[in-house]
Amino acid sequence: MFFGKLKKAHGKVIINPNWCKGCGYCVKYCPTDVLEMSKGYNAKGYHPPQVKAAADCRDCKFCELICPEFAIYVTSDKEEEQASASA
Amino acid sequence: MSSCAPNDAQFRIQNPMAEFLRMERMPHIWCPGCGIGSVVTSMAEAIKNGGHDMDKIAVVSGIGCTGRVAGYVKFDSFHTTHGRAIPFATGLKLANPELKVIVFSGDGDLFSIGGNHFIHAARRNMDLLVICVNNFTYGMTGGQMTPTTPTTANASTTPYGNYEYPFSLPFLADAAGATYVARWTSLNARNITDSISEALNRKGFSFIEVITPCTTLYQRRNRLGDGIDAMQYYHDDADIQHGADTRTVDIGFQGKLKTGKFVDRQKPTYLDAVNTHYANVIGDDYQLYGKTPPEKQAEEEAKRAAAAAAEQADGLEAEYIDEPAECGGDDA
C-alpha cells in the first residue's frame, strides 16, 4: 500500500445507552459506519446506538465530538494496551 | 449493550468530558438533537488541545437553553440575568485581566435584550470570546421569534410567518468592530474546535456564531423534520467561504448558508488602549492597568526572587541565633 508500514489506528466505542436521546448523529456521521440504531429501548424510550462493526473503528472520535449528550466516547486501543502493560 | 459496557457511575468518571463537565448534573436538559452539547464538546476539546490553564478560564452565560452551559461546565462560571452575560464578562475581565473569559450564550439572549451590550463590547474591543449558539428561536420559553428568525419562518409569536428582517450576526459584529468573526453550523464540529482554539490564542473581541437545530420548536413549527434533517440541510446548503464579505452572509429561510472565518484583524484591545492613552496623557505617574501576563509574571518572579533572597539571609541569621538557645535549654 501507499502508506507502507503505517498501522491503521483502532478505537473502541463506549456508549452509555441511558443518556442517549436517540438523535442518530453518531450513526449517520460515523465515517466508517461502525454504529447502528438498536431495536431496543433505553429507560427514556429512545433507541440508543449500538456497535455494528467494532473492527472498523478508526479512532477519529467524531461521534464523541458530535454527540450532544456526552453519551459516547472512544478509547484508542493503543492507550489501553499501554495501560494494561504498565498495570 | 455489549458485555463490557461500563455502568453509569464508571461512565461518569471515565468519560473524557469528565474533566470539563459537572458530571453529577448529567444527563442534561437539552432536547434530542439539540446542537448545544456538540458545541460544548468542541469548546472543551479546544481548551484541552490548547493546553490552557483551567483555572484561568471563566465561562459566562445568559438566560435560555444555551445559558445552561455555565451550570454544566466545570470552569469558574456564572449564569447571569437575561442579556447581561457580556457586561458581567466585561467586569470579570477588567477585575482580573489574566482570565480568558468565554461568553457562551444564545441568539435571543445576546442579540435581543443583550444587543446593546454586544455592540458596545465589540466597539471597545474587550478581550472576550463570544460564542453565540444561534437556533433562530427562544427555545426555553416556547419558540418565540428572535432578532435572528429568518423572514417567513413560523414562530409562536408569528404564527402566520415572520414579517420582520433578521439580524445578520457576522455583519453586525463586523460593523461594530469585532476583530475575529466566524460562523459555523453544528455539523462542522472540527471547524468549531479549530475556530475556538484560534480565538482563545488571540487578543481582542472574538465572535463565533454556531448555527444549531432547535428540533422541538423551530424545526417542528416549520415542519422541517428532526435533528438529522437539520444536519442534512447544513450538509447540503452550507459552504465554507473564508474571508467572505460579511454584507453577503445573511440567512434566508432555509436558504444558502455561508460559513467560515470572515474577519480576522488586529486592533488594540480596551485595556491596551487605556494604557497607551493614559501613558501618553499622564506620563510616568500613570500606573498601568491590566498588565499583560508576561509583564506581571516577570514582575512577580522578580518580587519572589527578592523575597527568597531576603528569606535566605534571614534564615541564616535565625539559625545562627536559634542554635545556642536550644543548647541552653537542653543544659538546663
Domain positions in chain A are 11-86
Contact A24 B45 (CB under 8 A): no
Confidence of residue B332 (pLDDT cuts 50, 70, 90): very low
Give the minimum alpha-carbon distance from B43 to chain A in angstroms, rounded to a whole number.
10
| Mean of pLDDT values over A28-55 | 91
Torsion on CA atoms B106, B109, B111, B116, rounded to nearest 10 = -140
Residues of B in contact with A59 (CB under 8 A): none
| Mean of pLDDT values over B147-166 | 92
Residue A79 pLDDT exceeds 70: no
What stretches of chain B show up as alpha helix (H) in DSSP?
8-14, 36-50, 69-72, 85-95, 107-108, 115-124, 169-176, 189-200, 220-221, 227-237, 270-281, 293-331
Contact A23 B2 (CB under 8 A): no
Considering only the beta carbons, identify the residue of A28, A38, A69 that sits closest to B228: A28
pLDDT at position A5 is 73
Measured CA distances, B303 to A35, B238, B307 (Å): 58, 54, 6
Residue B322 pLDDT exceeds 60: no
CATH 3.20.20.70 fits B8-273, yes or no: no
Q: Is the dihedral of CA B22, B26, B29, B34 positive or negative?
A: positive
Domains of chain B, residue spans: 8-273, 291-331
CATH topology of domain A11-86: Alpha-Beta Plaits (3.30.70)
Q: For B73-100, how does the pLDDT look when each residue is reduced to its tens digit (9 = 90+)?
A: 999 999 999 999 999 999 999 998 889 9
Contact A24 B227 (CB under 8 A): yes
Q: For B194-209, how does the pLDDT look when each residue is reduced to its tens digit (9 = 90+)?
A: 999 999 999 999 999 9
Confidence of residue B3 (pLDDT cuts 50, 70, 90): very low
Q: Write down the ipTM of this complex.
A: 0.85
User: Helix (H, G, I), strand (E, B), or coil: what is residue B265?
Assistant: coil
Burial class of residue B2, CB neighbours in 10 A (0-12, 13-18, 19+): exposed
Contact A23 B228 (CB under 8 A): yes
